[in-house]
């Protein structure tokens, strides 16, 4: 009851039940109430909730003292509740939030889409009600981040279950956020993947990605018809604990047709926030206190978004912001400053997150039959854990099948001849490292720590894996039209693309140095420690043998 009194007090500051300002064809009306018995229906003794935000994707209104609201809608709108702190919206059996109502009287356009859109919803209901249940949301909590699950088919949906979810510890996690490319063009995998990720037992919010679109769409506004059927709005927001989250669609679809130069162009996408996304962001943040921590999630990385300056301009004046993306199938932390339109005293932090499917589940399979899927920057496939607390936030990367404290890969020689150690290179791939990380090395467990230098280049461990697997594939026989017929016509070369790793790309989180020059003959322990931008310290070790000088091999004795 004290929580309700607090909400009532907050609502008293609002100017009553705000009416929608948009000139819309009709008004959607309804009620937000406390669903104490979690049955989805309002029963006696379940009060309306005042001061809760409702949106049509363009503007925000508040519920009145009795929990009622009214907002303008047209015939292709989604009305949704902005989940307030301390309450949870209704969820389906796969823990997908369902705090929205799709209003599409005629349904999705019958444009010959391969994948089903929204069925006709008919006239507006007399009341669109949103049940909310009390939810424990402490000041300190974890959020799981999943970049690009992107399964091609049901087999890869199962791989995600076995490679990532089996054994994933969700203790302390309030919810998970999947950062787009939930599918890999086959939108029939969306719901099976929902069922798989739903096993985690935490609420699962989803971001719209470029591989989640209807490519038959004649306009960007129609490219997310299947998405709306499965997940609802592509632009929405919610509160969890003290943090406000905004999810935006930054994938702009350009259908096939004539380009600006008159030439015929294929259908394609670009990274850009459309007018609806930015309109919603402005309206949403206008109702969020400037000091509140704001996390904005979208799919395509911010440095590839055409109107990122306008986006960052909307966030300007907020000292506590963070943005998240995926899409690149590498792991990066990018800092944006004045040259990008950011006006804050500290850079805006953007985490371009690694992916569940890694390198699209490429690479040689392990003993389970699952490809190792290492990404082109040497980062393993995996997920992130973001921790939010009153004193700030932090992040760590979790490689699939790896211990939680394994945060780097050390590449160093196994053995070096005495006197040659000064030229022996050590390369450390710190998976969640940034330009603000400090990485150091020492040998033998004593003596000073030696600072390593950050270099943006190819990870030698990944390069070696790429070369070895490419050589193995070259040894495989070419496929033929009929393997049983001698001299059968050979097909064009096709090297099993699901086994072929992507070519190495520069890694933004490599640190490089050389071994001390005076190491004596014997076995030594290389220690590496890295301190990240949050003050978290992680360690790794590797064994090194220093061998005696090579001697000339004795001449073979005759018989």
Amino acid 484: pLDDT: 46
Q: Mean per-residue pLDDT for 524-543?
A: 97
Q: Looking at the domain assignment, is residue 353 inside a domain?
A: no
Residue with tokens 């033998």: 444
Instruction: Render pLDDT for 17-69 as a digit per residue (tens, 0 to 9).
Output: 444 444 446 999 999 999 999 999 999 999 999 999 999 999 999 999 999 99
Q: Looking at the domain assignment, is residue 39 inside a domain?
A: yes
Distance CA 248, CA 234 (A): 6
Of the pLDDT bands very low, low, confident and very high (cuts 50, 70, 90), residue 113 is: confident
Tokens found for residue 228: 């709306």
Distance CA 62, CA 493 (A): 61
Q: Looking at the domain assignment, is residue 324 inside a domain?
A: no
Amino acid 477: pLDDT: 64
Residue with tokens 């009553």: 16
Q: Looking at the domain assignment, is residue 313 inside a domain?
A: no
Identify the domain boundary among 136, 164, 194: 136
Amino acid 488: pLDDT: 40
Closest to 410 measured CA to CA, from 426, 424, 388, 391: 426
Distance CA 458, CA 510 (A): 8
Q: Looking at the domain assignment, is residue 130 inside a domain?
A: yes
Q: Looking at the domain assignment, is residue 487 inside a domain?
A: no
323 burial (CB, 10 Å; 0-12 / 13-18 / 19+) is buried
The number of folded domains in the chain is 2
Amino acid 493: pLDDT: 41
CB 335 within 8 A of CB 322: no
Amino acid 423: pLDDT: 87
- Decide if pLDDT at 551 tops 80: no
- Decide if pLDDT at 9 tops 70: no
Strand partners, 27: 72
Q: What SS3 state is found at 514? A: strand
Identify the domain boundary among 116, 136, 156: 136
- Decide if pLDDT at 336 tops 90: yes
CB 442 within 8 A of CB 342: no
Identify the domain boundary among 136, 155, 185: 136
Report angle CA 157, 162, 166 to the nearest 5 degrees: 125
Amino acid 485: pLDDT: 44
Distance CA 57, CA 155 (A): 36
Query: Does an H or E element contain 239, and which?
Result: strand 236-240
Residue 453 structural domain: 408-475+494-547
Q: Looking at the domain assignment, is residue 220 inside a domain?
A: no
Q: Looking at the domain assignment, is residue 460 inside a domain?
A: yes
Closest to 443 measured CA to CA, from 547, 546, 550: 546
Instruction: Render pLDDT for 277-322 as a digit per residue (tens, 0 to 9).
Output: 999 999 999 999 999 999 999 999 999 999 999 999 999 999 999 9
Residue 235, Cα to own-chain centre: how many angstroms?
A: 16
Quote the DSSP letter at residue 244: E
- Domain containing residue 123: CATH number: 2.60.40.10
Amino acid 474: pLDDT: 77
């Amino acid at each position: 009851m004290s929580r309700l009194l607090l909400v009532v007090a907050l609502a008293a500051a609002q100017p009553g039940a705000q009416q929608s300002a948009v000139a819309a064809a009709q008004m959607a009306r309804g009620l937000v109430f406390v669903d104490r018995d979690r049955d989805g229906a309002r029963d006696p003794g379940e009060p309306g909730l005042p001061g809760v935000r409702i949106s049509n994707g363009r503007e925000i209104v508040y519920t009145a003292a009795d929990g009622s609201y009214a907002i303008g809608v047209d015939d292709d709108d989604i009305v949704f509740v902005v989940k307030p702190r301390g309450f949870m919206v209704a969820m389906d059996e796969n823990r997908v939030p369902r705090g929205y109502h799709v209003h599409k009287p005629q349904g999705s356009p019958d444009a010959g889409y391969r994948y089903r859109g929204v069925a006709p919803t008919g006239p507006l209901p007399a009341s669109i009600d949103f049940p909310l249940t009390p939810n424990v949301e402490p000041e300190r909590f974890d959020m799981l981040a999943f970049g690009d699950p992107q399964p091609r088919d049901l087999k890869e949906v199962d791989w995600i279950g076995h490679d990532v979810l089996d054994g994933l510890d969700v203790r302390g996690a309030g919810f998970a956020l999947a950062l787009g490319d939930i599918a890999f063009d086959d939108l029939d995998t969306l719901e099976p993947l929902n069922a798989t990720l739903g096993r985690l037992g935490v609420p699962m919010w989803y971001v719209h990605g470029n591989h989640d679109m209807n490519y038959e769409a004649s306009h960007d506004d129609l490219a997310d018809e299947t998405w709306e059927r499965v997940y609802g709005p592509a632009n929405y927001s919610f509160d969890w604990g003290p943090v406000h989250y905004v999810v935006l669609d930054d994938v702009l679809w350009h259908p096939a047709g004539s380009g600006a130069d008159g030439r015929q162009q294929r259908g394609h996408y670009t990274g850009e926030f459309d007018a609806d996304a930015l309109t919603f962001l402005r309206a949403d943040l206008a109702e969020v206190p400037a000091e509140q921590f704001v996390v904005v999630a979208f799919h395509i990385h911010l440095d590839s978004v055409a109107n990122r300056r306008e986006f960052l301009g909307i966030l300007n004046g907020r000292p506590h912001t963070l943005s998240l993306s995926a899409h690149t199938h590498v792991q990066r932390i990018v800092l944006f400053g004045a040259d990008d339109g950011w006006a804050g005293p500290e850079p805006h932090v953007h985490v371009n997150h690694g992916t569940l499917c890694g390198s699209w589940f490429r690479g040689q399979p392990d003993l389970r039959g699952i490809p190792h899927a290492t990404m082109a920057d040497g980062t393993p496939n995996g997920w992130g854990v973001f921790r939010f607390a009153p004193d700030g936030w932090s992040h760590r990367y979790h490689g699939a099948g790896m211990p939680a404290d394994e945060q780097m890969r050390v590449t160093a020689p196994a053995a070096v001849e005495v006197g040659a150690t000064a030229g022996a290179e050590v390369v450390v791939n710190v998976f969640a490292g940034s330009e603000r990380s400090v990485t150091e090395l020492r040998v033998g467990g004593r003596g000073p720590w030696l600072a390593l230098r950050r270099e943006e280049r190819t990870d030698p461990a990944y390069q070696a894996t790429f070369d070895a697997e490419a050589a193995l594939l070259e040894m495989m026989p070419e496929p033929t039209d009929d393997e049983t017929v001698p001299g059968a016509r050979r097909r064009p070369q096709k090297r099993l693309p699901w086994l072929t790793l992507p070519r190495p790309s520069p890694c933004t989180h490599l640190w490089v140095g050389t071994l001390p020059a005076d190491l004596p003959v014997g076995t030594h322990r290389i220690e590496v420690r890295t301190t990240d931008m949050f003050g978290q310290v992680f360690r790794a070790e590797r064994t090194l043998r220093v061998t005696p000088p090579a001697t000339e091999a004795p001449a073979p004795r005759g018989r």
